[in-house]
Amino acid sequence: MLGTLEKIKRGEKAFIVCLGDSITEQNYHLHEHLNYVGLLSEKLINKFGRNHLLLNAGVSGDTTWGIVERLERDALRFKPDLVTLMIGMNDSARGAEMLPEFQSNLEAIIDRTRSIGSEIVLITQNTISYELTDNVNRRKDYPAYVKTLLETAESRQVPVCDLYQAWTDEITANPNSQWTLMNDGIHPNEYGHRFMADGLFRFMGIS
């Protein structure tokens, strides 16, 4: 169990920063609905009251390279209790040859976050549609990036919420979900974010 969640349950104040790319950022793909970050905040308020502060630090187009550069400015200077990191989609466009650097970036983010006493959780992202040519051309190595993130989490003993596997299972059982949960071939819509939030709630034990 995350120590941060235990603090919130006890009524103590806690600060959470959610780092990521456009899937974390609140943007037009949501059609004026909350994304998984907003839904997490809403869930915590409804269950435990207003004793937490949650900062959405998602930036459209971001990668682990960008997060390494802005980690102090956008997260660590606030001394958060918990940092969540959902990343990898845009990194994968750099190709398989950049996987070692992707891993190094993840390790740097993990180590720097822990060095100030903050907890960190990694979150895998949704699957994407390879029916779209751009995804085939630019993100064919995306599954390998997901695998590297999972392996890095295991080697660094970091909790990981594997939403990629949840999406894979859902689409295998219900193939149309690839489109009913998506705004395009990459970004989840409001239903997709509800699906992701529900997976995160189960991971945190607050369903």
SS3 (DSSP) at 60: coil
Read off the pLDDT band of 181 (50, 70, 90): very high
The third-level CATH classification (topology) of the domain covering 3-204 is Rossmann fold (3.40.50)
In this predicted structure, what is the pLDDT of residue 2? 84
Q: For the segment 131-172, what is each residue's pLDDT rounded down to a tens digit? A: 765 655 788 899 999 999 999 999 999 999 999 999 999 999
Going by the DSSP 8-state scheme, the letter that residue 39 receives in this structure is H
Inter-residue contact 96 to 141 (CB < 8 Å)? yes
Tell me which amino acid residue 108 is. Answer: A
What mean pLDDT, rounded, does the chain reach? 93
